[in-house]
Structure formats: C-alpha cells, structure tokens
Amino acid sequence: MLLVTCYSLLVTRYLLLVTRYSLLVTYPVLLSTLTSIPKMPDASHRVGVDIGGTFTDLIVYDDASGAFTIGKTLTTPSDPSLAVETGLREILTQASLQPNQVNTLVHGTTLVTNAIIERKGAATALFTTAGFRDVVEIGREQRYELYDLMLEHPKPLVPRYLRFDVPQRTLADGSSAQPLDVALVERLARELEAKGIHAVAISFLHSFTNPADEQAARAAIQRVAPNLRVSLSSEVIPEIREFERTSTTIANVYVQGRVERYLRELQARLKRIGFGGNFFMMLSSGGIATVETAIKFPVRLLESGPAAGALAAAHSGRLCGRPDLLSFDMGGTTAKLCVIADGEPLIAHDFEVDRVYRFKKGSGLPVKIPVIEMIEIGTGGGSLARVDSLGLLKVGPDSAGADPGPVCYGRGGTQPTVTDADLVLGYLDANFFLGGKMKLDLAAARAAIDTHIAKPLGLSIEEAAWGIHQVANESMANAARVHTLERGKDPHRFPLFAFGGAGPVHAYRVALALGSPMLIAPFGAGVMSTVGFLTAPLAFDFVRSWPSKLSGLDWGKANSVLAEMEAEGEAVLSESGIAPADIAHRRQADMRYVGQGHEVRVNLPGHSLGATDAEAIQAEFEQTYRQLYGRFGPPVPIEIINWRVVSSGPSPALRLRTGAGDVATGSAEFARKGARRAWSPEAKGYVDTPIYDRYRLAVGAHFSGPAIVEERESTVIVGALGNCHIDAQRNLVVNLLT
C-alpha cells in the first residue's frame, strides 16, 4: 500500500508539471483524484450551481479536505435544467465522484427575472378591495424622468380586465368596516378557471394588520376552483404601502407555476443521475431555502444568482483581512457591483424589475423583498457594440448571450461584442479560452469589428476594439461610482474585488477610473460566484408594519410582534432539520423622522425591549442617518414603521484549499509561460506582454505590469502601473501606483 501511495504522489507531481494545460477544469490540488486509488463514497461534498445568461458555472467542494473542482458549460436558454445536468455530470467525472457523494446542492437562477421581463408567467388575475383595482397602474404618480414628454411606465403583469373589485374593507387598525363578499369571490373564481386563468393574487387594503379577509377569499377560491394558484399579500409581504405590496404579490403568483415546473424538472434530473442529498435555492437576500419554500415565495429568487457573487466577495474579503470591498462581477451578459462593508454586503428591501429605462429608478415594477443591494448594468462579455444614429459608439445593454454568442465563438453571431474586442486587443488567447475547450476565431472577430465599428467611424480595427473595451469600462466605472456614493461610501477607499469570466479582463481600467487603491482577483475568479452558494446559511426574512412613535411606544406589543416573527422563523427553518438552539435571530426596524416619506433601517437589541432602550435605538438611528446623508434630520419625533426579523441557521464552514503548497517556488518567473502582443493605450499600439500561469503563481510571488495572468475560466489584465503579488489566500493583489 505504501508503494502505491508513493507512486500516486509521483504521478500527481508529474501531472501538475506537465499537464497544467489539461482541458479538465480541475485545480492542481485535485489532480491526485486522477490516480488509480479508488474513493469510497463519504457524502462530504457540496455543490454550487449558478446559471448565467451565457455560462452555467459549477463548483464541487470537499468539506473534509477543502479541495474543490470547478466547471463551466454553456447555458441552455430553452431548458436551463439541461445545462445544470450536463455540467454536473462533467464536473463529478472530473472530480472522480459519484452523485451519492454529494450531500448538498445549492442553486441560483435568473428564471424569475427572465419570466417577468419576457412576460412568460401565468395568466393572472387580481382581487383587491373595491375601488383599488387601478393601484398597480396609478403607482405613486411620480415621473422618474421629469422632462420626458414620451414617458413610459412598465405595463402591469395583470391587465385591467383581469383586475377585480371585491366588496370588503379593513380599516388601518385592523377592524372590519365591510365584510367580504364571499359569494362574489366564488363566482369570479369559477369564471376565471373556465376562461383559462391559472393564478390569482389577492391584495386587500390594510390586510397587513388583519389578514382574515384574504384568508377567507383564498378558502373560497380553493372550494370552487382548487387548480387556481393563489398568493396573499399578507403572506408574501405583510407590509405597509399598497402599490408595492400588490405589485410584489402579483409577481409572486405570476411566476409560481413556471418556477415550480422548473424546480420539479431539475429535481427529476438530479434524481436520475443519482443525487439524493439536500437541494436548496439561493434567495435574493443571501440566505438559502428549501425547494418548497422557494416554490411558495418564488419572487424571493429574483436576484438569487447575483446575490451569490456578493457573498463570495464578502467571504474572501473577510479571509484576507479586507472587510471593505467593492464587489465587481462581470459575466457574459451583465456586470454587477456591490458594496461590501464590515465584511457583509448591504441589504435593501426595495427592488425594481423590468425597467423601461434600465438605469432610471421608478421605471420598473416594484418588488418589496429583501435583496442584496447592488447595481446591475447591461455590460458583459457578450454585450453588443454598435454605432448609433448620431455616430457615437455604444456598448450594450443588448447581449449576444449564449446563443449565438460573440462572433469569435463561431456559433452564428455577426455583431461585434466586448469579448470580440478583448480578443482583438490580445487580452485573450484564442487557443486557451476555457482552458482550450473552446477555440476562438480571431479573424471573424476582426472582420466584424471592421465592418460594424471601424469603417463607419474611420478607425483602425485596433482603435475600434480599444474603443469598445474602454466604453464598457467607463460605463461600469460610472455605475460603480454612483452606487458607492449613494450609499455614503468613498470609492477611493474600497479595493475592487473582481471576478466572473470577464471581470478580471476589465477590472484594472475600471479600478483606475474609480481611483481604487488596489485590485484583487481571487483564485478561480471565473466561477467565483459559485463559492457564495457554499457560504450561505439557511435563512428567511420576516416583516410586520406597525407604525408608532419611539416616544410612548407600547414596548409589550413591540416584543410580541418580534417574538411572533421569530417563532415563524423557527418553524420555517426547523422544516430543514435545524434545531431551535442553532437558529439566530437578527432584529431590525425601519425608522424615520415623522413626516418623511422614506425610512432608514437600524439594528435593534436582541433582548426583550423596554423604555430604557429608547435612547440607544434613537442614537443608532441618528448615527445611521448621518452616515447616509451627512447631517442629522429635523428636530421632530422619530417613528418606527416596520419591524423586521432575519432568522438564520449556522453559516457553513468554507476554507478553499487552493493548492499553494503544491507550487514549487515563490518566484513569478517560475510561472511565466511566454509573452503575447497585447494592446497598450499608453504606447498606442501592441507591446510584448509577459504571460503568467495562474496555477503556478505561489504565495509571495511578485511581478509588475504590464502583464497577463491566465487561468482556465478567466484572464487578469494588468497595466503598466500595476504592482502585483500573491497573498496568503492566493489572491492576485494589484496595487495601483497612481
């Protein structure tokens, strides 16, 4: 046995040195799994799966050793579950694992967002209090663009002819002024089912104070039309503000059927390949939930994929001692930017989907769910470049996606994209894209840029390609700057943490434009978002609207409201097998100065509240308010509008073993694998640029820009001002010498 082990170690070392360009998307630390020693099933592995617009990313992590394997496959838009099955089969084969060795799979998807944007949800009706059926169309009567005479608003998911006035009236204190007309509800339900309607949203006035009428209406529908899906606003979002509550409830039931069909199909595919472990979904808030919870509240999956990327950045930042970061995740379709402060991403409870104008707040359908606060812009590797009617170069937000993809993919694309420009500039290796799994067509990329950009603008192909690259950079830098400043943060203080397939290619120029002190590119940057799936605990958020001034607050009722939500949290999480003793509750409140229209969220003490806590709560509010707005508010009383509880289980341990000990030397020269002519804007031409093998860069290695650092799923481009080193977590850290 000793001889076999020694031989295995020799084979591993040989494979590390000779086959580092293998097409297997497996890190060097895992190459020992390619030896002949059999591995017994131990069910100690976890899997994260992220479906993006262009690629589906996967990671397999071994809890026992910290070893991990990553994979990437093209997304299948017609049936996303097919890409998950295909990618999972491939990655388990690469890791020499059987499906029964995986105990947990966590998944994030853009299915909900896409279904709303593409209007591919169920035929849905709305039951609301008589006189309020036009709330979803009237909205807040605000013009998001004051001087646009052709202003458009998003079309409600439910057309007016399917919005029904139901006689009933609940007052603000929860008392009933008019009883529910149950007979009318039953008659409407029968007619709707007969006409092919599949879903009903119920949102009655003030139902967040008393849900009895909504519950009675659901019971009536289920008696006469049991096949209709029903969502109640008092369950989806028991919170003040009628317009947002109704819009969120409609969105929830609108996508519910589509989400359930997708998740059931994915469950069936996983079962067919032999997976029998736990299957969880990532929520927009950064927690994870069971499939059953996700099916009941699918609207909470709106930002499940991007949320994982922010969690991955936060986790990496904590490990390397940098709790304040600007997360920059650029994939094939979009770029996502998120502020990480004190080791945690910021959370918001207001979100918009399907904006008429992509960057105009107020132009989309409001959804009040807890979501990791980020800005998402239509700039990715697949973003299309064009010359507009004014003769200006534009990039995005339209994307080539996975099908047909950029021109250089050779899958039928004809319009030039950001990836085509990066290839022409020499930033990508046509023969080493995805580690050589996909060959890129440089000639086709040059021809497309020449035809559609260079000739119309009177530029050379290289100048046109640089223009595409830099327009994309400036768009992302501008979005990041606004996003950071609006949250009271200084972008000059925040290192840029770059990942995603295209993020490290563009991060250096984005960081320079922002004035960031440094750029950090993690090991395995191309699929880093999948790491976030493995760091998230089981969690769920609860909210109750109970407006009350801080002075003279009924502290007994406050404790009762908080305890009720904590009990609900324990009930939800206990279904997943978490013991009550392992469940943590975080209390928060939405507060404002009396008379203001918006609230500020503050943390509340975890103990039973009393009058002695009022001063501390007020101080917390004022500190948060001043941090956001640079000053204190008017000398008026303070009130609490919403009470919140976040219930969560233990965070899973995650310590990725990057294989730094397998690299023989700390010298960067050991990792150098040649040079390539790449475009330098400072030299206004191509220059010979050193290329480094990411897998052979050991902890402590130092080198200076310009440089290209390649790994299988992504490439880091470092300009002339960059001073680089590999830190203890094997991150590539680029100090920017400005």
Domain CATH code at residue 183: 3.40.1360
Q: Which is nearest to 287 in space by CA: 654, 619, 538, 504? A: 538
Residues 449 and 563 in one domain: no
Q: What are all long-range contacts of 140-149, with beta carbons under 8 Å and residues at least 24 apart?
A: 140/243, 140/362, 142/362, 143/362, 144/357, 144/360, 144/361, 144/362, 144/363, 145/357, 145/360, 145/363
At residue 451, the pLDDT reads 95
Domain boundary among 469, 488, 512: 469
Residues 438 and 543 in one domain: no
Q: Is 556 helix (H, G, I), strand (E, B) or coil?
A: helix
At residue 306, the pLDDT reads 83
Kindly provide the b/e burial profile for residues 529-559, where b requires at least 16 CB atoms within 10 angstroms of the residue's own CB.
Answer: bbbbbbbbbbbbbbbbbbeeebeebeeeebe
At residue 15, the pLDDT reads 33
At residue 591, the pLDDT reads 95
d(CA 49, CA 86) in angstroms, rounded, equals 12
**Ramachandran category for residue 194: left, alpha or beta (phi over 0 → left; psi -120 to 50 → alpha):** alpha
Assigned domain for 122 exists = yes
CB atoms within 10 A of CB 706: 19
Query: What is the reported pTM?
Result: 0.82
Residue 575 is given by DSSP the state: T
State residue 17 phi and psi, 5-degree precision.
-85, -30
Residues 439 and 545 in one domain: no
d(CA 655, CA 657) in angstroms, rounded, equals 6
Residues 440 and 570 in one domain: no
Please list, in sequence order, all residues whose beta carbon lies within 8 angstroms of the beta carbon of residue 327, skipping any fewer than 6 positions away. Answer: 309, 310, 313, 314, 336, 337, 338, 339, 340, 345, 374, 497
Residues 465 and 551 in one domain: no
Assigned domain for 522 exists = no
Assigned domain for 717 exists = no
At residue 351, the pLDDT reads 83
At residue 665, the pLDDT reads 55
At residue 20, the pLDDT reads 32
Q: Are 133 and 250 in contact (CB under 8 A)?
A: no
Assigned domain for 357 exists = no
Place of tokens 């001043």: 626
Domain boundary among 451, 469, 487: 469
Q: What are all long-range contacts of 489-495, with beta carbons under 8 Å and residues at least 24 apart?
A: 489/339, 489/341, 491/326, 491/515, 491/516, 492/516, 492/517, 493/324, 493/517, 494/324, 494/325, 494/326, 494/339, 495/322, 495/324, 495/325, 495/326, 495/519, 495/520
Residues 446 and 544 in one domain: no
Residues 560 and 461 in one domain: no
Residues 429 and 560 in one domain: no
Cα dist from 87 to 25, 313, 378, 562, 684, whole Å: 11, 23, 26, 43, 41
Residues 121 and 256 in one domain: yes
Residues 136 and 216 in one domain: yes
Domain that holds residue 234: 115-261
Class of residue 520 by CB neighbours under 10 A (exposed 0-12, middle 13-18, buried 19+): buried
Q: Is 313 helix (H, G, I), strand (E, B) or coil?
A: helix
d(CA 499, CA 514) in angstroms, rounded, equals 17
The structure tokens listed for 673 are 């694998």
Assigned domain for 152 exists = yes
Quote the number of domains for the chain: 3
Residues 434 and 555 in one domain: no
Residues 257 and 129 in one domain: yes
Domain boundary among 619, 648, 677: 648
Task: List, run by run, the mean pLDDT of 10-residue segments along the chain (738 residues).
Answer: 39 34 30 30 78 83 86 84 90 90 89 83 96 90 79 88 96 94 96 96 95 97 96 94 94 95 93 91 89 93 86 90 92 87 87 74 85 85 90 87 86 93 95 86 95 95 96 92 85 92 93 94 87 87 92 93 93 84 93 90 92 92 88 91 92 71 65 92 92 91 93 91 91 85
State residue 301 phi and psi, 5-degree precision.
-95, 5
